[in-house]
Structure 1
Amino acid sequence: MTPAINALKQANIEFTIHEYHHEAGCDSYGLEAAEKLGLQPEQVFKTLVVQLDGKQLAVAIIPVDSKLSMKLIAKATKAKKAAMANADDVQRSTGYKLGGVSPIAQKKPLKTYIDISAKNYVKIYVSGGQRGLDIELAPEQLLLVTKAQFAPLTS
Structure 2
Amino acid sequence: MSKKNKLPKTNAIRIIESEDFPFEIRSYQTDDGYNDGISVANKTNEPVSSVYKTLVAMASKTDLLVFIIPVSDELDLKKAAKTAGFKKVEMLPMKELTKETGYVRGGCSPIGMKRELPTFIDQQAETLDYFYVSAGKVGLQLKLAPQDLAQVTKAQFSDLVK
| Residue 25 (structure 2) pairs with residue 6 (structure 1) | no
Counterpart Cα distance in 2 of 1:14 and 1:62: 21
CA RMSD of aligned residues (A): 1.2
The equivalences for 1:117-136 within 5 A come to: 117-136=124-143
Residues matched between the structures, number: 154
Show the counterpart of 1:141.
148
The residue type paired with residue 15 of structure 1 is: F
CA–CA separation in structure 1 for the residues paired with 2:21 and 2:101: 21
- Give the superposition deviation at 1:88: 2.9
1:47 paired to 2:86: no
In structure 2, the gaps of 5 or more residues are 1-8
Extract structure 1 runs of 4+ deviating beyond 3 A.
Answer: none
Match of 1:23 among 1, 12, 31: 31
CA contact (8 A) 1:114 1:151 kept: yes
Q: Percent same amino acid at aligned positions?
A: 38
Q: 1:54 to 1:93 in 2, by over 3 A?
A: closer
Give the AA of the match of 2:70: P
TM-score normalised by structure 2 residue count:
0.91
5+ residue gaps in structure 1?
none
Counterpart in 1 of 2:41?
34
More strand by share: 1
CA distance in 1, matches of 2:17, 2:49: 26
